Amino acid sequence: VTPWIQRGGNGPRTHALIVGVSAYAHLPRGDEPPPADRETFGLRQLESAAAGAAAFAAWMRDEYANPDAPLGSVWLLLSPSDRETEHVAALGAPQPPRATAAATREALSDWVQACSDPQHVAIAYLAGHGVMLSKDEGAVVLLEDFAADPLDLLANAFDVSAVRSGFGRPEMAQRQLWLVDACAVRPTALGRIEARGGVRLDGDPTHSSEISAVLTSAAPSTLALGLQGKGTLFSQALLECLERRAAVPTAEGSWAVTGTSLAAQVPVRVEELAAANLVDQRATAGGWWTGEAIHVYDEPPKVEVVIEADPEDAGPYCYATLGNGYEELFRDEPLRPRIIRAVPAGYWTVDVVVQPETPPYLTRRGVPCPAMPPAVPRQVVRMT
């Protein structure tokens, strides 16, 4: 399979494999009954998994930055639903192949080859229906032609556990991030069938990578969760965290997403988004984590600050200037009754000038306004 992205360069590189499956060849569409000739665990078509994978692929292509291991290649395989087709088309050329078992197996083989250097970074993103495993293993993710063979139902499924185990070998990329976004097959539906996917590597339980972090989210039902065009709740949460929420300052004062900051923020955001959608969905962080940077920003991420006067009645007489001694982000903006503004993360101070002089309100200068992800508390400036 031709990589979706192939960039040159020597030295350590990041290589990614991204697979998203919403359309299943052997699952019923709409109100169709399940097929009578094979077990399909009561599953139906999905609507968000491929869009989420496409959004993550676009982020990798356009935003991902890791000076220790710049992006080298991305293998992308998508099986979009009809409604997701436009999101995949928006990725532009080349269009990714469909996520069948044969194509995925071939891409896996190429990706493994690319990752065969302990200095490299390996990133895997798998989305679709899945049989959930433990939080150190992720899931067995069902590919487009799942259940093609009624006698070997999981032959066309990606076994994250086995592939990760295979990546434990010392010659493989020793820094790994496994992202698994699965709409969970009910554990009872599988009966006593072993959860063993056919797209796999020969795992070696005796080996371990240095860093092999696993973020897994199990959607609670066969319904596709997520806003149209924005992918699944997990993909939304993941991208929000990569873009801003999981950003932390480095020792030198620049900004990065680290393994531990991602592990802390993604489960929180998944839970928040799920609650907003009135469902119970969690994400778990398994495997081995460190504070090493996954993504490094070339400029601080934007965070939203809210500045308001106390009491609110002072607002019409107040004009705010936000800066840090070197630069001003805005000057003499009216507080009527508050300013809401996305600003670069950092340590800012706000001056609030009362104009014209209106007792009992007092001008305030140099009020600290630290703007740090993931969220900035309201900055209430006391004017009396």
Partner 1 sequence: MSPDATLTVQVPTLSALPGALVEVRDRELRLKGRVAPGHALALSAGSYLATVTTPAGERLIKAVEVGAGDSVEVSLEVPSPALTDRLDERVLLADVPPQRGPFPRRVHGIGLEPPFIRFLAADDGRTIDGVETEPGPDALVVRNPGVEAVVLAQLEQAGQGAPWNVALPMASYPPADHCRLQLVEGADEWRASATPVGGQFVEALASYLITGGLRQAAELAPAAATLLREKGENPVAAALGGYVLLRLGRLDKLRDWPMNLANWFSWLPDGAIIAAELSFRRGALDEAERWVEEALHRGPPMFSDGLSLLVARLRPAAGSRPKGAERLLELSRFVDFAQLALAFPGADPTDPLGGYV
**CB of 298 vs partner 1, minimal distance in Å:** 15
Q: Which is nearer to partner 1, 43 or 285 (CB)?
A: 285
**CB of 380 vs partner 1, minimal distance in Å:** 14
What type of residue is 320? A
**Interatomic CA distance for residues 101 and 103, integer angstroms:** 6
Q: Which is nearer to partner 1, 12 or 373 (CB)?
A: 373
Q: Which is nearer to partner 1, 119 or 221 (CB)?
A: 221
Which residues bind to partner 1, rule: CB under 8 A? Answer: 131-137, 161-162, 165, 187-188, 190-192, 194-196, 203-206, 208, 210-211, 216, 249-253, 258, 260-261, 263-265, 267-268, 280, 282-291, 324-325, 346-347, 368, 370, 372
321: Cβ contacts below 8 Å, ≥ 6 apart? 328, 330, 331, 332, 333, 350, 351, 353
**CB of 257 vs partner 1, minimal distance in Å:** 13
**CB of 103 vs partner 1, minimal distance in Å:** 24
Q: Which is nearer to partner 1, 127 or 133 (CB)?
A: 133
**CB of 340 vs partner 1, minimal distance in Å:** 19
**CB of 203 vs partner 1, minimal distance in Å:** 3
Q: Which of 39, 43, 44 is nearest to 191 (CA)?
A: 39
Distances in Å between the Cα of 249 and the Cα atoms of 63, 70, 120, 261 are: 18, 20, 24, 11
Q: Which is nearer to partner 1, 146 or 317 (CB)?
A: 146
Instruction: Name the burial class of residue 67, with classes exposed (0-12), middle (13-18) and buried (19+) by CB atoms within 10 angstroms of its CB.
Output: exposed
Burial 6-20 (b: 16+ CB within 10 A, else e): eeeeeebbbbbbbbb
Q: Which of 123, 63, 69, 72 is nearest to 299 (CA)?
A: 63
Q: Which is nearer to partner 1, 119 or 324 (CB)?
A: 324
